[in-house]
């Protein structure tokens, strides 16, 4: 173990054996990030029940809004990306994520603002909720019960969906996302139905089971993904807009849990620029020089190389749910795999499964979520405690 600065200790090289020792894994995860992450399916069911108790139907009273703004930061902000992709390119109303305090200047009485904050106290969500109320926009708030966000929603007589707190916020993605989707459903903007929610929850349960700490690395997809990424610079590209939301989420969890630098994005966009990474010193150039007989224990870090994770949508979505023909997305995904292979850059592929957009998204998020935690644990890092985030809050007085 290295005792680093600022009270963080960890291991330079990932301890593979630790991942096959459930006892050691439990000790390395005192806050229970694995357990919190395994509650994703339960979060979907619980949030759907809590949303059913809130009076979301009032949202529809004033008809279809001009625009929907999802205000929040970090994981809360990601819920806006999920809504936008589940609503799809045919959504008649713009869905806009807003990640700073307040709301965009054009927001007014014709619009809906959904303010989201797991703690119920991020300045971004609170500022947006207050601004929405002041400007006469319809407001919905999602977050911790008995929080400042709840009081603002009450003052504004706006629906509030309480999301029980699970520290940290990134372990609450599903609890925060479902109320946002159901608020949008009340507005007639998404088609998510009860069966979609039930199937998504079941998918998350099944993936949590496949990724459980007792499952050995060779049968546990999250452990093998984590071990493949160990020591690399991950690049995570999504083959479709939906898969790109999952890619960005993996960027969040790899950074915050495992503290890995990571490049994420849409493959379509990457294909016109960032794909050049595969040719560089961390990509094809490094692989060309690699001595395949060298002892990996003597690797002094100079051999750091890229590892590509390709999240593929699998071409399962209905043709009218996409903004690009499925065949184009599929060809591009095949192409980048060929490119990686030609350069010796290793590539993991996760392919979406399931019928609805929400379930497919869940199938691309679940295994990577666990992988980020196993990667943290293999490096001796507590995936829950991130001193840098706490220090940022203290130093910037937030």
Ligand X SMILES: O=P(O)(O)OC[C@H]1O[C@@H](O)[C@@H](O)[C@@H](O)[C@@H]1O
Helix (H, G, I), strand (E, B) or coil at 382: coil
CA distances (Å), 129 to each of 64, 72, 83, 133, 228, in order? 20, 10, 18, 6, 43
Query: Nearer to ligand X by C-beta: 168 or 283?
Result: 168
> Ramachandran region of residue 161, left (φ > 0), alpha (ψ -120 to 50) or beta?
beta
Residue 117 near ligand X by CB under 6 A? yes
Burial 314-339 (b: 16+ CB within 10 A, else e): bbbbeeebbeeebeebbebbeebeeb
Question: Which member of 127, 168, 314, 354 binds ligand X (CB under 6 A)?
Answer: 168
In 3D space, the residue among 212, 53, 75, 66 whose CA is nearest the CA of residue 137 turns out to be 66
Residue 175 near ligand X by CB under 6 A? no
Name the segment binding ligand X (CB under 6 A); options: 22-30, 117-125, 240-248, 268-276.
117-125
State the nearest-atom distance from the C-beta of 334 to ligand X, in Å: 35
Per the CB < 8 A criterion, the answer to whether 190 and 87 are in contact is yes
In 3D space, the residue among 106, 115, 110, 131 whose CA is nearest the CA of residue 65 turns out to be 110
Q: Calculate ∠ Cα 329-335-337, nearest 5°.
A: 110
Binding mask 53-72 toward ligand X (x if CB under 6 A, else -) reads -------------------x
Helix (H, G, I), strand (E, B) or coil at 197: helix
Question: Which member of 122, 220, 240, 356 binds ligand X (CB under 6 A)?
Answer: 122
Question: Which member of 25, 73, 82, 161 binds ligand X (CB under 6 A)?
Answer: 73
Question: Which member of 118, 137, 161, 235 binds ligand X (CB under 6 A)?
Answer: 118
Per the CB < 8 A criterion, the answer to whether 310 and 264 are in contact is no
Query: Nearer to ligand X by C-beta: 40 or 278?
Result: 40
Question: Which member of 169, 230, 339, 352 binds ligand X (CB under 6 A)?
Answer: 169
Question: Which member of 51, 59, 71, 76 binds ligand X (CB under 6 A)?
Answer: 76
Question: Which member of 75, 213, 244, 356 binds ligand X (CB under 6 A)?
Answer: 75
Give the interface size with ligand X as a residue count (CB under 6 A): 15
Residue 253 near ligand X by CB under 6 A? no
State the nearest-atom distance from the C-beta of 177 to ligand X, in Å: 12
Name the segment binding ligand X (CB under 6 A); options: 47-55, 61-69, 162-170, 258-266.
162-170
Binding mask 123-142 toward ligand X (x if CB under 6 A, else -) reads --x-----------------
**Residue of closest CB approach to ligand X:** 74
CA distances (Å), 108 to each of 114, 128, 313, in order? 13, 12, 36
In 3D space, the residue among 137, 138, 132 whose CA is nearest the CA of residue 57 turns out to be 138
| Residues of this chain that bind ligand X (CB under 6 A) | 72-76, 117-119, 122, 125, 168-170, 389, 393
């Amino acid at each position: 173990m290295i005792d680093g600065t600022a009270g963080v200790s960890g291991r330079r090289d990932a301890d593979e054996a630790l991942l096959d020792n459930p006892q050691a894994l439990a000790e390395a995860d005192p806050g229970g990030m694995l357990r919190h992450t395994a509650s994703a399916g339960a979060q979907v069911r619980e949030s759907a029940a809590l949303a059913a108790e809130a009076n979301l139907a009032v949202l529809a009273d004033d008809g279809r809004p001009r625009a929907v703004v999802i205000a929040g930061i970090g994981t809360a902000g990601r819920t806006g990306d999920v809504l936008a992709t589940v609503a799809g390119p045919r959504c008649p109303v713009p869905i806009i994520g807003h990640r700073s305090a307040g709301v965009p200047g054009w927001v007014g009485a014709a619009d809906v603002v959904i303010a989201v904050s797991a703690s119920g106290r991020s300045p971004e969500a609170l500022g947006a909720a207050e601004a929405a109320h002041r400007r006469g926009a319809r407001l919905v708030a999602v977050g911790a019960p008995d929080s400042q966000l709840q009081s603002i929603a009450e003052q504004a007589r706006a629906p509030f969906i309480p999301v029980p707190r699970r520290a940290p916020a990134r372990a609450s993605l599903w609890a925060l996302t479902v109320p946002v989707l159901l608020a949008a459903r009340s507005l007639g903007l998404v088609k998510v139905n009860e069966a979609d929610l039930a199937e998504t929850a079941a998918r998350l349960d099944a993936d949590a089971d496949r990724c459980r700490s007792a499952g050995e690395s060779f049968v546990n997809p999250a452990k093998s993904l984590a071990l493949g990424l160990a020591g690399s610079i991950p690049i995570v590209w999504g083959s479709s807009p939906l898969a790109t939301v999952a890619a960005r989420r993996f960027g969040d969890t790899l950074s915050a849990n495992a503290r890995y630098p990571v490049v994420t994005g849409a493959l379509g966009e990457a294909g016109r620029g960032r794909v050049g990474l595969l040719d560089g010193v961390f990509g094809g150039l490094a692989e060309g020089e690699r001595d395949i007989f060298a002892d990996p224990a003597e690797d002094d870090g100079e051999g750091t190389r890229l590892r590509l994770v390709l999240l593929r949508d699998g071409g399962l979505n209905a043709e009218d749910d996409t903004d690009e023909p499925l065949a184009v997305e599929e060809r591009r995904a095949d192409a980048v795999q060929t490119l990686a292979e030609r350069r010796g850059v290793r590539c993991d592929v996760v392919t979406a499964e399931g019928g609805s957009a929400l379930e497919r998204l869940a199938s691309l998020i679940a295994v990577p979520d666990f992988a980020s935690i196993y990667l943290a644990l293999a490096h001796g890092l507590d995936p829950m405690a991130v001193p840098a985030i706490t220090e940022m809050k203290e130093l910037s007085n937030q």
